[in-house]
Structure 1
Amino acid sequence: MWTWIKRGIGLALLLLVVAFLHYTLPQRDIVRITGTYNRLTEIGANGMFYASPDSGTTTATTEKRDIRFIEAVFPDGDVMVYRNEDTGWIWPPYFKYDSSNLQAEATNLESGKDNPQWVAVTHYGWRLSILSIYPNAVKVRAVAGPDVRLVPWVNIVVLVLLAAGLGMLWRMWQQFKERMIEPAMDDLNNRLDAVDARADQAKARARGLWSRLFSRR
């Protein structure tokens, strides 16, 4: 039972880490931009998926903010809407301060079906319609066509560094376990064995004394 509980906890933690990385790491979509606009958006319980407002802007649990949006279409016809907000110095660390310029670039790259201009939109986050959550675009640039292949170098470097860091932490834990925990556990087991041995000896002496007392009678 305990083994299954530990496996369940480990799986839940793994899923949380995967979801965190999938949300935070940059992704790139090849799309055709069809429109850009600003909209006064009400932010409430889903506020954790939006950029934080300036300190002191509001103290209400629900706020309204003017947010830039970019509308786009995938090569297969599916649609996507991106928000365009500055991230500043907060998490995730994209240090984005040029949302106005990005909106102008996206507007300049708008195109129609007859003469499409395909664009690579770099973003992070998810699109969840039911919660009014939009991925945040951090960069747009024109590409040769819808079949262009882009290597996710940033993700590769981050994941390699993360794997190296986890490997180093695992190695440090194993060394700590070998040098500190296992000797301490061995010493504890030896002490417990010694206590058990003395208890057995005491019991044996008690039985011997008891038998001698009764044998004299």
Structure 2
Amino acid sequence: MWTKIKWGIRLVLIAIVAAFLHYTLPQRDVVRLTGTYNRMTEVGANSIFYASPDSGTTTATVDRRDIRFIEAVFPDGGVMVYRNEDTGWVWPPYFKYDSSNLQAEATNYVSTKEKPEWVAVTHYGWRMPIFSIYPNAVKIRPVDGPDVQLIPWVNIIVLGLLALGFGMLWRMWQQFKERMIEPAVDDLNNTLDAMDAGADAAKAKARGFWGRMFRRK
């Protein structure tokens, strides 16, 4: 039972870390831009998925913001809407302050279905219509076509460094456990064994003493 609980906790932690990385790390979509616009947006319980109020894209009222949006279409016909907010110096660390320029670039790349211009939109975050959550676009660049292959070098490097760091921490923990914890546990077990042996000897001695007393009678 305890083994199942431990594995359940591990799986939950792995899922949380994986979701955090999937939301934070940059992703790139090859799309055709169809329009850009600004809209006053109510931000409430989903505020953690929007930029902080001091990142340069909000008004004096935190719950109602004038947010830029970018509309796009995938090669297979699916649609996507990106928000375009500055991230500032807060998390995630994209240090984005050029949302106005990015909106102008997006408007310039808008094209029609008959004469498509394909671009790669770098973004982070998720699209959840039910919660009015949009991925935040951080970069737009033209590509040769809808079938272009994009290698996620940033993600490969970040995940590689995280794996290396985790491996080093795991090795340090194993060494610490071998040098400090296991000897301490062994000493404790030896002490407990000695105490048990002493208690058994005392009991045996007591039984022998009372046995002799009763035999004398």
TM-score (norm 2): 0.97
Distance 1:79 1:14 in 2: 31
The 2-side partners of 1:161 and 1:9 are apart by 24
8 Å Cα contact 2:70/2:81 also seen in 1: yes
Secondary structure at the aligned position of 1:44 is classed as coil
Residue of structure 2 in register with 1:95 after alignment: 95
> Matches of 1:108 and 1:147 in 2, distance apart?
22
**1:205 has 2:205 as partner:** yes
Quote the Cα distance in structure 1 between the aligned partners of 2:6 and 2:186: 24
Coordinate RMSD, CA, aligned: 1.4
In structure 1, the residue matched to 2:143 is: 143
Q: Deviations over 1:159-194 (max 9, x none)?
A: 000000000000000010001000000000000000
Question: How far apart in 1 are the matches of 2:182 and 2:165?
Answer: 24
Q: Deviations over 1:22-63 (max 9, x none)?
A: 0000000000000000000000000000000128x8897x71
C-alpha separation between the residues in 2 aligned to 1:209 and 1:170?
A: 55
Match of 1:119 in 2: 119
Alignment of 1:104 with 2:104, yes or no, is yes
Moved over 3 A (4+): 57-60
Tell me, in whole angstroms, the C-alpha distance in 1 between the residues paired with 2:64 and 2:14.
35
Question: Counterpart in 1 of 2:54?
Answer: 54
Q: Percent identity, please.
A: 77
Aligned residues: 215
CA distance 1:59–1:141, change in 2 (3 Å): closer
Q: TM-score, normalised by structure 1?
A: 0.97
Distance 1:203 1:12 in 2: 49
Q: Residue 169 of structure 1 aligns with which residue?
A: 169
CA deviation map 1:124-181 (0-9, x unaligned) = 0000000000000000011000000011000000000000000000000001000100
Contact kept, 8 Å, 2:59 with 2:65, in 1: the verdict is no
> d(CA) in 2 for partners of 1:110 and 1:144?
15
1:134 aligns with 2:143: no
